[in-house]
Structure 1
Amino acid sequence: MPDQPTLAQVAAEAGVSPATASRVLTGSVRVTTSTRRQVHDAMSRLGYVRRRAPHGVSSRRTDRFLAAVVCEPAPRLFGEPFYARLLSAFEEALAEHGVPLMVMTAAHAVPPLVAKGIDGVLLVGARDGHPLAVTLAASGIPVRCVGRPPDGLALPYVDLDNRDGGRQAAEHLLLSGRKAMAVIAGPPAMPGARARVEGFLTTLTSAGMTNVPVAYGDFSHLSGAQAMRWLLRRLPHLDAVFAASDVMAVAALQVLHRAGRRVPHDVALVGFDDAPVARHVNPPLTTVRQPVEELAVVAARLLLNGQRHNPVLPTELVVRESA
């Protein structure tokens, strides 16, 4: 019996990229009507039929179907740079293997995943106490978490060295002579967010700096602004701020400007992510770079291959003018 055509062959027949063919198959709105028709015509000519096995991802299969489930509301999913970068790179990595991707938020995710015969799930942004990770683990669907799994669950993951990123930020600010530091932290129920702050505060404690005020946000611009205003009330003479995301750092920068505090002359500011916006604010943002695209590629490979080891990718401080 001849081999069945793959999605990559359909893409070549239609004259589009594998990623575009994948979007057609998943019903993405990011595809024009004419392109959609080209792909469907190519599927008909080649006799392409999507095949899925119910018990996970097999390296011998030519057709698989994966999902990325983000534990955030839709506005955050489409509005945060981190998710856009991660999911775009993940989709491209899967498309190289002709594997379509479905993206959804966590609300009511499991029944559709089971009903559609999803072969694997990339779980993003799960927090302690969120039931989805437990439910997915019980469903039998292969799962790969981005970041440490919540509540210490024994799920495979790919993570960043968030703690070391916090350490690098703290050491840089200490070496610059800053004495009154504060932190804008991410959600405390998110393991990666905790690790960033722990790495920062542990390093300061080792240097004899204690009682550092911490304001909590949710990685959004609004929460970063609110946290920065609270910190200025709590520590009016602060001279350095570490924000656990670039989005919150940019919000903090705007609040500092409005308060008449010069960055970096009065207040040094360090973010986390190295998002594109970090290079375009004034002054450009010193930040901890996380290799988001590499994270997605590694996660895709491990999920497709069914490997169980849990890699941790390094972070790197990028020094610009804000600190």
Structure 2
Amino acid sequence: MTSTHPTGDPALPELGGRAPTLAHVARLAGVSPATASRVLTGSARVSDAARSRVDEAVERLGYVRPAGSRARRSGTVAAVLCEDGCRVLGDPYFARLLWGVRRELNGRAPLVVLMAGRADEWRATIGYLRGGHAEGVLLVGARRDQAGPLARAAGGAPVVLAGRPLDEMPLPYVDVDNRGGALAAVRHLLGAGRRRIGTIAGPADLGAGVDRLEGYRLAAEEAGMGVTGLVCRGDFGRLSGERAMDRLLQRRPDVDAVLAASDEMAVGALSALRRAGRRVPDDVAVVGFDDAPVARQVRPRLTTVRRPSEDLGARLARELGAHTGGRPVAERAVVLRTKLIIRESA
């Protein structure tokens, strides 16, 4: 008789079609069931090595802690920010989004903010969620393949994502119209007579990065504009925008406009253009995305696509409340409008 394993891995314990149990997790991790239980409840009395082995076993088995055996929930809403702390603390988008969440909660539930950018932060976040402390979970900035492990760690608590997921997890989400915003920005540049429009796209493993690039490509195709050599990538940060603009100028010195997928990258592009002796907007027009405070502080002030960050946070909390309260939810996806804000840079 051939044994069946959940992923076809012969090293996994035989389950015989049954759901994996805590005993299976402990056996695969090479620890006692008591140690496995301490890891799953977020106890600090576990070595890092044992915690890592248990976490790996949980992922390989697809283990979900039964809802009835979870620790007493504290009634909190956990906002998990899948970014390094330096990015979170330096980008006002996160503060504005969290303010919207808090405004909507209006004292009905405590808000706990978890950062899961580094490996140690990720382990601590997984441990907290597995401990059953959160009544609901908001995932912000989850990359491809991150939403699944975090949702499974929540073990039955409602989960809502900020941003369209790129994996196949059937989770509700709230997003902004990234594709439409980029499309409007490029159409504006084309209407101003720009014909060699480049873009500094965002990360390929994040929905916002994918959708903003798609909007740029749609506008280019609509206008019959070739994009050879006109697409570079950054990580939404200022330095990556500066470096990407340098690459664009090397590849296509005739570029006459650029859409950056974030205002921070647009500010980096301004620095690179200034260093190269290009005037903005006379020689090269620049459009950002977000309408962060920096868009009004730089000179020339940035034309940018405004996303409603506070409204996004408030809608996330509202959707989570609907799921937590067991009320029927009409849509799995909610997409908020963006708006092109025209200033001096384009």
Give, in whole Å, the separation in 1 of the partners of 2:150 and 2:265.
31
Give, in whole Å, the separation in 2 of the partners of 1:101 and 1:149.
23
Instruction: Please list the CA deviations of residues 51-96 of structure 1 after superposition, one character each: whole Å capped at 9, or x if unmatched.
Output: xxx68xxxxxxx83111101111111111121121122212322x1
In the other structure, the counterpart of 1:179 is 195
In the other structure, the counterpart of 1:89 is 100
How far has the Cα of 1:110 moved from its partner?
2.0
Give, in whole Å, the separation in 2 of the partners of 1:157 and 1:129.
15
Give, in whole Å, the separation in 1 of the partners of 2:97 and 2:91.
10
In the other structure, the counterpart of 1:133 is 148
SS at match of 1:322: coil
* One-letter amino acid of the counterpart of residue 83, structure 1: F
TM-score (normalised: structure 2): 0.72
Instruction: Please list the CA deviations of residues 19-76 of structure 1 after superposition, one character each: whole Å capped at 9, or x if unmatched.
Output: xxxxxxxxxxxxxxxxxxxxxxxxxxxxxxxxxxx68xxxxxxx83111101111111
How far has the Cα of 1:188 moved from its partner?
0.8
Give, in whole Å, the separation in 2 of the partners of 1:76 and 1:195.
21
In the other structure, the counterpart of 1:36 is none
SS at match of 1:151: coil
CA contact (8 A) 1:137 1:143 kept: no
In the other structure, the counterpart of 1:245 is 262
Q: In the alignment, does 2:275 pair up with 1:264?
A: no
TM-score (normalised: structure 1): 0.77
Q: In the alignment, does 2:184 pair up with 1:168?
A: yes
CA contact (8 A) 2:220 2:227 kept: no
In the other structure, the counterpart of 1:65 is 76
Gaps of 5+ in 2: 1-66, 69-73, 117-121
Give, in whole Å, the separation in 1 of the partners of 2:277 and 2:100.
39
What's the C-alpha RMSD, in Å, of the aligned pairs?
1.6
* One-letter amino acid of the counterpart of residue 70, structure 1: L
In the other structure, the counterpart of 1:100 is 110
Instruction: Please list the CA deviations of residues 102-137 of structure 1 after superposition, one character each: whole Å capped at 9, or x if unmatched.
Output: 11122121221232521111101111133x434414
In the other structure, the counterpart of 1:204 is 220
Give, in whole Å, the separation in 2 of the partners of 1:206 and 1:152.
30
CA contact (8 A) 1:126 1:133 kept: no
Residue correspondences, number: 261
SS at match of 1:311: strand
Q: In the alignment, does 2:333 pair up with 1:318?
A: no
In the other structure, the counterpart of 2:126 is 110
CA contact (8 A) 1:249 1:271 kept: yes
Gaps of 5+ in 1: 1-53, 56-62
How far has the Cα of 1:178 moved from its partner?
0.5
How far has the Cα of 1:152 moved from its partner?
2.9
In the other structure, the counterpart of 1:10 is none
- Which residue, out of 169, 192, 200, partners 2:208? 192
* One-letter amino acid of the counterpart of residue 240, structure 1: A
SS at match of 2:167: helix
- Which residue, out of 281, 296, 301, partners 1:284? 301
Quote the sequence identity (%): 48
* One-letter amino acid of the counterpart of residue 278, structure 2: R
Give, in whole Å, the separation in 2 of the partners of 1:241 and 1:292.
23
CA contact (8 A) 1:246 1:275 kept: yes
